[in-house]
Every structure is written in C-alpha cells, then in structure tokens.
Amino acid sequence: MAVVLPAEPAPVRLMNTIWADRDGVHDALVDRTDLLTVLRATGYPVADVTGRHVGEARRLRDALRRLAAAATRDERLRAATALDEPEAIDAVNAVMTVAPEREVLTRTPDGWELRAEPTDSPDTALAHLARAGARLLATGDPPLRACYAPGCVLYFTADHPRREWCSVACGNRARAARHYRRHRDMA
C-alpha cells in the first residue's frame, strides 16, 4: 500500500486511506500489514499490531473523515462515512484518552519543533494520531480542505490560500472537466 499525499500531516494521511480512482472508492486500511504501513509512514515505529488495532484505526479514520467533512462543509457522497458527528467526536475522544501525550522538542533547519514522541505502542500511536487530528480540526492551522476534483475523495491541508485540489493530477482533471463542460454546453 502506498501512502497517498505523503507530505500531508499524519492524521490527514490516515484519513486518506480512503481513496478513489476510475474503478471506485478503495479502502487501503484493511489488515494488519496496511496499518503497520500507515503507522510507520506517519512516524510511529510500531513492531506489530492486532486485529483490534486495525478496527480502532479504521474507526478513528472514519471519525476524522466525518469531522473533516463537517469542518470543510464537504457534502461529497463518495467521501462520506457511516458515523454521525456526535459518534465521530466520541470516537476521537475515546482514542485520545488511551495514552498520555508525550512530546519532545527537536531542532529543525527552520528552528524548533515540538512533536509527539515516536512510540512502538500501537495504542499510543493511535492516540497521538487522534490528538493531532483533533488539534488540526480545532485550530484550523494549517487549513483543512476537501478536494472537489471529479471522483476524488481526499482531504489536504492548504499550504497556499488559492490551493483548490489535493494534487496536480486532480487540478488537471478538474480543469479538463470544466473545459469539456463548457464546450459541450456551447454545442
């Protein structure tokens, strides 16, 4: 499983384990191997996970997607989850309480960064992802967006105020669809 939009914050990468192509909507978080890939790609050197962790990660992902939809006013049916907003809030809060927040200060090329301490515990890793997702939704920094390109179900953070799509490919697809619509309407 390849991580979609790997430059996005960790909770957005978890949300984007639901993705779409011409064949439909796909779930890239199906089994233990998928969860290990996601956790390792988001900075958590977890050695192993159980089926319970997969279920918790899927529920957390769906909860974050539901709350992201509310935050971005996203009404895309293909991007929807089965959770309603109160259930999603409860799910995120439940995962956040599993492990204490442990952060470390590190030096970066641009200055200093305070980030969650990497952990080899799947429960702690999921709690950190839940907290990061909750922080992203609560602060809006960076701003979370839904990609409205035809067929896309991804979320992204806007690194520029005019950014409309999650990727160059989605931007091209959206512009091509707009072009074909305009020419079809003129005919």
pLDDT band at 123 (very low <50, low <70, confident <90, very high): very high
What is the model's pTM? 0.85
pLDDT at 92 over 90: yes
Confidence band for 56, pLDDT divided at 50, 70 and 90: very high
Q: What is the pLDDT of residue 1?
A: 57
Listed by start position, the domains of the chain span 10-186
Q: 57 pLDDT exceeds 90?
A: yes
25-29, 60-64, 172-176, 182-186: range with lowest mean pLDDT: 182-186
Radius of gyration of the chain (CA): 17
Number of H helices, E strands in the chain: 6, 6
Residue 113: its pLDDT value, please?
82
Indicate if the pLDDT at residue 77 is higher than 90: no
Is the distance from CB of 76 to CB of 149 less than 8 angstroms? no
The predicted pLDDT at position 7 comes to: 84
Domain 10-186 classification at class level: mainly alpha
Residue 4 has pLDDT above 80, yes or no: no
